[in-house]
Amino acid sequence: MDTTIQSLWRLKPMTAPQAKLGDLVSNTKIGVEIEIENMRTPPPIPGWNLTHDGSLRNGGVEYVFSSPIGGSAACTRLSRLEASLNEITTKTFGPRTSVHIHVDVRDLTWEQACKMIVLYAMVEPYLFSICGQERDENIYSLSLYRGQDQVSRLNELIQQGPSALSSSKWAKYSSINLLAMPTFGSLEFRGHKGTCSKDALVNWINHLLSLKMYVLDESKDIGDLPQILSQNGHHALLAEIFGQKLVVANLKSANRVRSLIYEGVWVAEDLLYHTNFREADKKLIEGLGTDGSNQMNKLRNKLCVD
């Protein structure tokens, strides 16, 4: 199926990308939402809309990109936000605040979008190590590898296709929100802790953009990645996806999840091989037939003695 996410949900066509990348690794358009507390008189900032969020306290507000934009123009907005908010000494980024990044996937097919989700799952422990390890159990952005129920739901979604994507099948309160796809044509990443630091945001956004770049690179295959991990270690795996430069800049985060990264790979393998699992289950049961009386008799004899 070659239909793009844009045509699947009849979304607005993509406009021309920004010519200059600025500090970002690609010119894919992004949307940014930043939550802040203790903002009594939030200033207007060009390129950002100001909204209020019920989950925040004490004058909590949310700055949201006024429109999706990429490359250097997005960086300019991040710089403006940082400069404006640095002047507000009362602001706080408590545990309730977070940063949500929308990555435009309108140009991807459903299969490519699924690959990007699987790739995200594979490196999720590393990504949480960057964006705030303590947030992997956050009730507003529960990670796939800690929640696990979302992995079962993802398997069903991948099996059933895009028409099955609805709020009954997916919860917004996951670290990755698929429900932004039919609405905005984006994948929303909700894991990052609250911050207005441009450097931190650019670092995070570049990781997310790298996921999409990997999926678009036809010379690369997600299926090879588990083997890269087992043969060459976690640095090699992460460098293959994010590039050496980004991984070296986040070496501490990478080393913190040396063991945990395997959990991400197991989740990804669950998604990559979901058809194999189903087939194996079906074949095994069919092969054994339906006469379970022997085992049931054993269980009755052993467990139901008065």
Partner 1 sequence: MTHPAFGDMTVRDILATYSDTYIQLQTRDDDGFYSAKLLGVDDDNGLYFEKPNGDRIIVGMQDSDVKYKLDWPTLGMVNIRDHVVLVERIAQRQWKKGLRMSSLRTCAFDTSILMHLYETHRRGRPDYFYQSDLIKLYTPEYTDFHEALEVVEAGEKIARAISPLFCVSNRWQVSKPLLYYKSNAIGVVTGTSVELAPEVSHIIPLLKRIVPNGYHNSIVMATKANDSTAG
Binding residues for partner 1, rule: CB under 8 A, are 94-95, 137, 139, 142, 146-152, 171-174, 226, 230, 266, 269-270, 273, 276-281, 283-285, 287-292, 294-304
> What CA–CA distance (Å, rounded) separates 159 from 275?
8
Closer residue to partner 1 in complex, CB, 33/37: 37
Looking at residue 197, the DSSP 8-state letter turns out to be -
Nearer of residues 42 and 147 to partner 1, judged by Cβ: 147
In the complex, the smallest distance separating the C-beta of residue 138 from partner 1, rounded to whole angstroms, is: 9
Query: Smallest distance from the beta carbon of 170 to partner 1, in angstroms?
Result: 9
Based on CB atoms, which residue is closest to partner 1, 171 or 249?
Answer: 171
CA distances from 52 to 33, 97, 181 (A): 11, 12, 23
Nearer to partner 1, 41 or 294 (CB): 294
Q: What is the DSSP letter of 15?
A: P
Which CB sits closer to partner 1, 104 or 270?
270
Residue 140 in contact with residue 173, Cβ under 8 Å?
yes
List 92's β-bridge partners, or say none.
37
Do the beta carbons of residue 207 and residue 127 sit within 8 Å?
yes
Residue linked to tokens 């934009």: 69
SS3 193: strand
- Using alpha carbons, list the distances in angstroms from residue 19 to 22, 145, 300: 9, 37, 72
Residue pair 253/129 in contact (Cβ under 8 Å)? The answer is: yes
Least CB distance to partner 1 at residue 100 (A): 15
CB nearer partner 1, residue 50 or residue 236: 236
Minimum gap (Å) between residue 79 Cβ and partner 1: 30
**Minimum CB distance to partner 1, residue 262 (Å):** 9
How do strand 48-51 and strand 61-65 relate by DSSP bridges? antiparallel
State the minimum distance, in angstroms, from the CB of residue 108 to partner 1.
Answer: 23
